[in-house]
Structure 1
Amino acid sequence: MKFSQRPVFRVVKIIIIATVVGVLGLTSLVSNQAKNDRDILSTATLSESVPSPSEEILKLKSLEKTFLDSDFYRKDGMLPLTVSKDLKCFVTYKINNQNMAAENELVLIGMPRQFIDLYLVDLSEKKAEYLGKTEFVISQAWSEDGNRLAIVSHKSVKILDLAKRSLAEVPLQYETDIYNTNWGIDNRTLYLHLDTTPNYYAYDTYSKQMVKVRGRFQEGDVVYRGDAGGAILTSKGERVGVAHGLYYGEAPEKQLFTGEVIIHDIDDERLLVSYDVDTPQGGARYTLAEYDLKTGASRVLYNEGNLHTVWKIYKASYIKTTGDIIFTTFKLSDTGVKYIMVRIEPNGKEIVTEVPSPLYTLTQGENLLHFAAFKDGESWIMDTGDFKFSDQGLQQTEQKSDIRDLMLRVLYLYGSESPKLDDIKQIFINTYDPIPQEALENILLEMEGPKYWQFIRQEIGKNVTMTLNLKDPNRASVILNGEYFRGPHELIKTLGQWYVTGFSTWPDSQARKNVYKACSQFIDNQIKTGQAEADFRQKGDQDDYAVRTAALLNKLRTQSSNIELGEIELWSMSEPHRAVKDAKEARVKMIVTLNDGSTEKLQGYFSRADSGDAWMFQGLGKLSPGLFPKTY
């Protein structure tokens, strides 16, 4: 059914995010996807005429130009973040030179870590008051009475009390990616919204307590309240921590969306929204669209979806003075990652610009776009008059290190439809000292079955960090943080080049030692005595896997002269992938010498119920990607 035929949007996922946040796709696909899949949302299109800017935004633009002509900007390097509601003071900031190189080194794909100093500037008194420091701002929101400003930065939210000139941090129990906030009608409750996660928190600024977290929201609770065209937008909780439905106007409210949708920005009566819908083939289809509250017309700006699709947009914003829409995303290639800004004019024309990072602030008067950088003390300013950087020699800030470069090539390969053998051999290697590690063999085995490779192939998301442990000049451990099929990587440097040699092999761990011991004892006490074979033959469920395992155990007992243990990998139990911690599965390669002198390589499967429990044999098979029964 077309959108124009439906009384409401029927979409699947909601987080309300008023000025920012993540969504989707690669820029090179934007035009084609929008043309081909426009019927996903609507055939009713918005007018291509440039909307008239409001008096409010024109006043802010003029006021901001006054600040840009002052010494605070020209000499002190301060940038305007926002203006107080009474238009008397600017909240400004400038880049702090604090060393963040170590933190930025671990950001493979994502927003840079960069500190800023905050100031309150009164132009009439030509006075700047230092407020404190925070990281580069992702979003900000004033309370309706204008007394408090919520500032969202990397995994933190701070509140500026304008009267007290104080900056206080909202206590978060866990490190959480907060991307947007908005204030309740009482001017004391601050709602915190996560990025692409239907989960909300409510913080009481008076008691300094998190009054609503997961488990405390009730059905019908308002979890978002915004203003669009003079009318109120609200979103209400359907179940614990999930906002469901978006309503427009006072009672009786008009329901705009029945499902879950992300609001990125509001321009008078226009909404910049995104949502995802599950597809019959698996995965989800992600859409970024503009919706007119007054007419109900809409246009799709981006539409992508397949089995592996993930959110790829960092921020999306209106430029209200011109009617343009901008969003930042990334493009990963075999040479590294590039960040890009897509600008869509009211007539639909798209302009793509390479930017130093996906993290930006659009000044409230919309004169400048300011981009954070991965290098300490650096940032880049773009004039919204011509959308050009003030430094015409801009080059994207390069993060150069051999291990970073290797892991970016690893990510690109993991997302490739059909990696080339030569490329694989430039990244992965087998080594046998101090323990057997066979990353190259494992990747090639996984690629033997095209269907299996497509199942484990991963679309790389917009936030990928790594944990790095440099053991010595030639050995390192890297963990890709996030839900990746391959998380832990063992690296080795040979002939001046870094390679991945193992997946979740954990060479120095006690868990590996325990598995090695359990497998050695199993060979001596179960395989060689025939006990393991007998146990499998006595199983009530004699499926094909049990029959094949019993046959292999018989072959080991009757036809082998030696069994040597090879590589050991530790896996998780629920969603099979290489385990980061608390491994419940182990996959052990066995090199078998037969009586005729030939060799075979098999793989044993061990598991344990909980940490500390004994490792128990579960099966045996010939080495292949389809070796074990599916446990997912």
Structure 2
Amino acid sequence: MDLDPGDMPLCYSPDLKTVYVMNYSRPEQEVGVILGDYTRPVDLYRLDNGQRTRVASGIPFITLARWSPDGRYLGIAGGRQLHVLNSDDNSLDPVNKLVNLPSAVFFGWSPDSKTVYVEHDYVVNGAVFNVENHEGLPAYRIKDNFPFFKAMLSDNLFIGTVTHEPSTSETVLMDGEGQVQKSVGAGKFRDVAGNSILQVGKGDFGLAFYADVNTPEGVLLTDRFIYQCQFLPQGGIIYTTPGETGAELNYDLTVVTQKEQKTVKVSGPHFNVWPDGRFVDVCGYRTERLSLPELAVVQQQDCPLYEGEKDKIIACARGAITTYIEYCHRSNNPYDQALKQELSRYCVDTREPVEQVALTDIYEELKSRPALSHLRSVAHHLNGQIKSVEIHGDRAALVAGFSSRHAVIRSDDTDPWSLFRSTAGGWAFETAYEMIKLDGNWYVTGLSTFPRSRERSEIAELTDGFINSCRGDGPAPVRDEQSRQFYEQIRGKEIRAGQIQFWNMSEPHRSSSAEQSKFALVYLYAGEARYELVFSREQNPGLAN
């Protein structure tokens, strides 16, 4: 192969005359990742007869490439997007767009090469797409619950998936007509080599290896969240999982062979194995090429996701949110000192220009949360994306969106296969951090405080007016009797204002937008006591201690 610098060989054409390679797109845009799953854009080229032809630009890093049985179409998936390339004319079908599919994480071909069977992020049999008429149907429009083809096992025997409900799947053996012949086991099919297959569990937690589908007795390789997995061309298994949590963005790449199992730290969650099995390229914040199966570094060059202070700010936010989530999923109550010490690596209480107590707020919230005895502490995963970042000298404001996924398994359940039968749950939320730089390090000092917003200025002005009322002889600027009583308690005392937070109240939670918040919560200090002054968009302020 005559490769350009940066080329990553993806696959050969069925006649072995053409090789397809990808190379990172230039210039690249920021990926916006804080932690969890992410990808980088690539361009796809075909190399044949000494010619180099670009057939796709700016598509996500390709993690799965499979030819149709007739060798005419190449399906390429990555970054939750699926494209189908017609090798006759190099035309490219964006399947997600054509089928109105929000995500495509895996796919298989029908025996006649006309249909692509697509797996959605949360629906194993998620959609079908016809490559001839360029049309398809998402799962909710498919009336019949028929098996989906996922891979060929032999001449007239195929691997397929059936669903009993949208998120519960079973891998089966099928004939060419789509008739189920035998069940292999619960889980989501990922790869086949000979008679061996790989499967992942509910919510992508757990990786199972079946040496022979005809006598299916699986071996659980890991119970961690799986980003990507496959068989190696020269034998063995390769997969990626989340690395250590904290300020650094880390991932683990593992290779399992008959001789040994080896794990190394890498900079990204996804990879591409060369067709000849000599190397693996990692899609991350470094350009990484490792030898196989040794996992020795062949090429490595830093390609930072962010520059300068922005990188440090995002690292702090990453550490703060991962620490918070780890303690949210704990199965027992933490030691006070250990919890506060861990939080203080990323959060701090400050006094200028007003008192802000992010460290205390998070500490008190986590201390009051009950331990989740029904969850395994390792069975959760967090993705995070930046919504906005503003930097003003030694102050910054960051808003980020997160999605958390977990396997609902009791911590006293020691059966490793529970991951393949459990319920996968999760939630999505947004967080707004006010941050400060102290002694060269960034810390979170405010939660949903929005320091430079118009709403913050308005609430500060209203708070000053309330404090001035307390110092005078005017009537209480509140409506309810309880607030009037508190007003009388602090009236005439020396009062100072503390942090201002913005909240929403469908279920009380800190708002990710000052503009869309429904309430503002202000800490007032009078002597040794702390009070909470609440401003509503619909009502006058109330006071509570």
TM-score (norm 2): 0.75
Higher RCO structure (Cα 8 Å, ≥6 apart): 1
Question: How far apart are the structure 2 equivalents of 1:300 and 1:293?
Answer: 15
The AA in structure 1 aligned to 2:275 is: Q
Is it true that 1:570 corresponds to 2:502 in the alignment? yes
Change (3 A) 1:435 1:214: farther
Is it true that 1:139 corresponds to 2:91 in the alignment? no
Change (3 A) 1:177 1:616: farther
2:252 match: secondary structure: strand
Give matches, 1:156-555, under 5 Å.
Answer: 156-170=81-95, 172=97, 176-185=102-111, 187-195=113-121, 200-209=126-135, 211-213=136-138, 215-230=140-155, 231-238=157-164, 244-250=169-175, 253-256=180-183, 261-276=187-202, 286-291=205-210, 292-303=212-223, 312-322=225-235, 324-334=236-246, 336-346=248-258, 349-375=260-286, 379-384=287-292, 386-391=294-299, 394=300, 401-417=311-327, 418=334, 419-431=338-350, 437-449=356-368, 451=370, 461=381, 463-483=383-403, 487-509=431-453, 528=476, 531-533=479-481, 550=482, 554-555=485-486
Equivalent pairs, count: 495
* Equivalent residue for 2:13, pick from 57, 62, 84: 84
Is it true that 1:580 corresponds to 2:512 in the alignment? yes
Give matches, 1:106-145, under 5 Å.
Answer: 106-110=32-36, 113-122=39-48, 125-133=49-57, 134-145=59-70
The AA in structure 2 aligned to 1:591 is: L
TM-score (norm 1): 0.66
1:614 corresponding residue in structure 2:
538
Question: Do the aligned partners of 1:140 and 1:180 also contact (CA within 8 Å) in 2?
Answer: no
Deviations 1:36-56 (A, max 9, x none): xxxxxxxxxxxxxxxxxxxxx
Question: How far apart are the structure 2 equivalents of 1:188 and 1:521?
Answer: 71
The AA in structure 2 aligned to 1:201 is: A
1:265 match: secondary structure: strand
* Equivalent residue for 2:522, pick from 562, 577, 589: 589
Question: How far apart are the structure 2 equivalents of 1:167 and 1:226?
Answer: 22
1:286 CA displacement = 3.6
1:32 corresponding residue in structure 2:
none
Question: How far apart are the structure 1 equivalents of 2:262 and 2:230?
Answer: 15
1:269 CA displacement = 2.0
Change (3 A) 1:256 1:120: same
1:336 CA displacement = 1.8
Deviations 1:132-177 (A, max 9, x none): 3234212222222221112223353332110012334335398945
2:76 corresponding residue in structure 1:
151
1:439 CA displacement = 1.4
Is it true that 1:99 corresponds to 2:27 in the alignment? yes
Give unmatched runs, 5+ long, in structure 1. Answer: 1-69, 277-283, 305-311, 534-549, 608-612, 623-632
Question: How far apart are the structure 1 equivalents of 2:448 and 2:207?
Answer: 37
The AA in structure 2 aligned to 1:493 is: K
More strand by proportion, 1 or 2? 2
Change (3 A) 1:516 1:166: same
Question: How far apart are the structure 1 equivalents of 2:123 and 2:320?
Answer: 27
Question: Do the aligned partners of 2:388 and 2:400 also contact (CA within 8 Å) in 1?
Answer: no
1:585 CA displacement = 5.3
1:580 match: secondary structure: coil
Question: How far apart are the structure 1 equivalents of 2:84 and 2:179?
Answer: 34
1:421 CA displacement = 3.6
Question: How far apart are the structure 1 equivalents of 2:168 and 2:246?
Answer: 39
Question: Do the aligned partners of 2:290 and 2:298 also contact (CA within 8 Å) in 1?
Answer: yes
Question: How far apart are the structure 1 equivalents of 2:86 and 2:261?
Answer: 40
The AA in structure 2 aligned to 1:131 is: V
1:199 CA displacement = 7.1
Question: Do the aligned partners of 1:114 and 1:135 also contact (CA within 8 Å) in 2?
Answer: yes
2:145 match: secondary structure: coil
Is it true that 1:601 corresponds to 2:530 in the alignment? yes
1:12 corresponding residue in structure 2:
none
The alignment yields a C-alpha RMSD, in angstroms, of 4.2
Question: Do the aligned partners of 2:487 and 2:543 also contact (CA within 8 Å) in 1?
Answer: no
Deviations 1:327-346 (A, max 9, x none): 11232244623322112223
Give matches, 1:1-20, under 5 Å.
Answer: none
1:87 match: secondary structure: coil
1:477 CA displacement = 1.9
Question: Do the aligned partners of 1:161 and 1:167 also contact (CA within 8 Å) in 2?
Answer: yes
2:323 match: secondary structure: helix
The AA in structure 2 aligned to 1:213 is: P
Change (3 A) 1:215 1:460: closer
